[in-house]
Structure 1
């Protein structure tokens, strides 16, 4: 069976790497490939799943993507417990061990710089959802009924238009409040973080639970300051009806690796198909 090397992260070498035990994608054992003062965290994967053509097809399969993302996250989480690391993009693969070494050579300066910058830091994710308005909208307003008198029909029509206008104005005010809450929450938390990233709001199958995602942010925080950050989130999270704030983490700092520009940062969107990881 042809195999490729799946690379989860680049880490600082650990003293007793041989004793580390973890299962990666496809339950394959994880090991370290050390080169020039860096260690790539790898496992074997099947070429028939991770060659370019089948991988492109797999990335359209949300179930496959979720399983792969959970395995990826599990390995990164286990390794981050024993050494500093820089997470790599989901489904980063090399053809053989020499390819892994070339990866470490090509990115050596970036990896070294990122490891120094992210040492002792973790990522916290914050989302704010605007819940659907429970009040009846214009589509649920009763239609005017035709009466025998022309004036009655006109009055009923005017009442219907007034109801539509009031409903639209109420929705606009609700969205304005949600936007203001999102900006306030993001600004206050950013003051207590070393860095922040704003990701695109999630929609469809990526969104978790009811409501519209109006804030999707990541914050880089010193590990020892995480308790204070969580406490601040709990103070700031809006309690008003119609808004729901969520905090996830701490994670390895995916959003702040900055190894491949915007493409690397956007990989976080791919991982979030498995956001239920925080529930399991």
Structure 2
């Protein structure tokens, strides 16, 4: 069987052993591949799954992709106890050991710089959700769908439009308040972290969360300062007024492998409220 090299992360060489029960993609056992002053954490995988053409097909299989992503993340997560890993993209594959050496050689300067910047740092994720009362209100238990008689009285149409306008204004006020809270929280947490990244808000059907995601951010924090950062998040997270929040981590610093400045809360996120309320739609 032709075997390829799946690369999870780049690190400084480490002396400790990887956990004996740690398994990577397709159940393979990861190991350290050392080359000069850098190490890659790799495992062998079958070309039947990871060569160029079969990999393209595999990446269309959501179940396979999900399993591979979880295994990849599990390996990178385990490396946090051995040093500061620089996670590589999902399905980074080399043909053989020489290919791994070329990967390390070609990115040596960038790897060194990034490892220095991320040394001792971890990533924390913070999300805020807004619940729209107009769309989440539930009827009383046992009640069937409401049935209203058609009102043909003069002015009925006008009254209906007036009610709809009032509902729309209340919805817009809810989203405006949600984004104001999210912006303030992000600015405060950015000031407490070494760097931050704003990610695209997650769709509810993908995240499984209740409510509209109005903040999906990552923060780079020194491991020694994490307890203070977590305490600050818990004090600042909203948990009333139709808003809720959560913090996840610590993660390997996936969001900070590129050397970019902290991101600001901008109109890109505000556009999500327009889609949520139907603003800008045309019938």
Is 1:57 aligned with 2:57?
Answer: yes
Which residue pairs with 1:145 in the alignment?
A: 150
**CA deviation string 1:129-154 (max 9, x = no partner):** 112424689xx99767245xxxxx12
Task: Report the Cα offset of residue 20 of structure 1.
Answer: 4.6
Retained in 1: the 8 A contact 2:201–2:213? yes
Give per-residue Cα distances to partners, 1:199-241, cap 9 Å, x unaligned: 1111254323121111111100000111111111111111223
> What's the offset of the Cα at 1:61?
2.4
1:99 is matched with which residue? 99
Paired residue secondary structure (1:173):
helix
What's the CA shift for 1:11? 0.8
Rate the CA distance shift 1:146–1:211 in 2: closer, same or farther, 3 A.
Answer: closer
Whole-Å separation in 2 of the counterparts to 1:163 and 1:201:
30
Q: Distance in 2 between matches of 1:136 and 1:84?
A: 43
* Partner deviation per Cα, 1:38-59 (whole Å, 9 max, x = no partner): 0000001121211222222222
The number of residues matched between the two structures is: 252
In 2, are the aligned partners of 1:10 and 1:39 still within 8 Å (CA)?
A: yes
SS of equivalent to 1:197: strand
Structure that is richer in helix per residue: 1
Residue 85, structure 1, aligned to residue 85, structure 2: yes
Note the alpha carbon deviations across 1:102-160, whole angstroms, 9 max, x for none. 000000011111111101100001111112424689xx99767245xxxxx12322221
Q: Give 1:84-233 correspondences, 5 Å limit.
A: 84-134=84-134, 145-147=150-152, 153-203=153-203, 205-233=205-233
Would the aligned equivalents of 2:185 and 2:236 in 1 still touch at CA under 8 Å? yes
Aligned to 1:238, what secondary structure does the other structure show?
coil
Partner residue in 2 for 1:258: 258
| TM-score of the superposed pair, with normalisation by structure 1 | 0.84
Contact persistence 2:134–2:171 (CA under 8 A): no
**1:136 and 1:102, CA in 2 relative to 1: closer, same or farther beyond 3 A?**
closer
2:30 maps to 1:25: no
Between stretches 194-203 and 98-107, larger displacement belongs to 194-203
Q: Runs of 5+ in structure 1 lacking a partner? A: 148-152, 261-280
SS, match of residue 125 in structure 2: strand
Supply the RMSD in Å over aligned alpha carbons.
Answer: 2.2
CA distance in 1, matches of 2:40, 2:109: 14
Q: Secondary structure at the match of 1:14?
A: coil
Q: How does 1:38-57 map to 2 (within 5 A)?
A: 38-57=38-57
Which SS does the other structure have where 2:71 is aligned?
Answer: helix
CA distance in 2, matches of 1:136, 1:193: 34
Deviations 1:237-273 (A, max 9, x none): 112232121110000101111189xxxxxxxxxxxxx
Counterparts of 1:254 and 1:146 in 2: how far apart (Å)?
58
Provide the residue aligned with 1:8 in structure 2. Answer: 8
1:4/1:173 CA distance change after superposition, 3 Å: same
CA distance in 1, matches of 2:62, 2:173: 36
Alpha-carbon distance in 1 for matches of 2:44, 2:253: 24
The runs of 5 or more residues in structure 2 that have no matched partner are 138-144, 261-283
